[in-house]
Structure 1
């Protein structure tokens, strides 16, 4: 294993946070400092790529959810329109029934001479 690979292995074992602390304390100089900074940058680049992939995945999920919601709302609107039509038919039937009931009452009144 090369010196740089050994150093990267060491960086992996201590983690990003401690690498940042050691860099700020000036623990490493020259090559090792440069390697550590490059290692941190590559970790940040990987983190940004992972975050971008996650954002893209979340956006795709949101888009799919929006499509499903749209379909559900479309179906709900269709049901509501059908219910509205049924309500109008029921209201018309109620008016007809009320008219027939009044007419029947008038006929009964005339036949029994209730006036």
Structure 2
């Protein structure tokens, strides 16, 4: 997966590669949830290179979205490919996502 994480203006930016499945979701939980504990509540995901996502990937994004909203923030997801878009809409991630590529 080799995700890249960086911070600009109190927003945690995440660039994902290829797939977001169980293994990658576990890594995201370990990597991103500590940012919430440090007071970061805005997350921006680049999905341009994500080809597939499973329920574990959706689950971690929903959990992160819920915790970020509780802190007054949220998540944005950019560059979603059509193959992945339907899964996001099915699981109600569509409220926060920015579909502009």
Structure with greater proportional helix content? 1
Q: TM-score range by the shorter chain?
A: under 0.3
Report the TM-score, using the length of structure 1 for normalisation.
0.22
Report the TM-score, using the length of structure 2 for normalisation.
0.25
Structure showing greater radius of gyration is 1
Structure with greater proportional strand content? 2
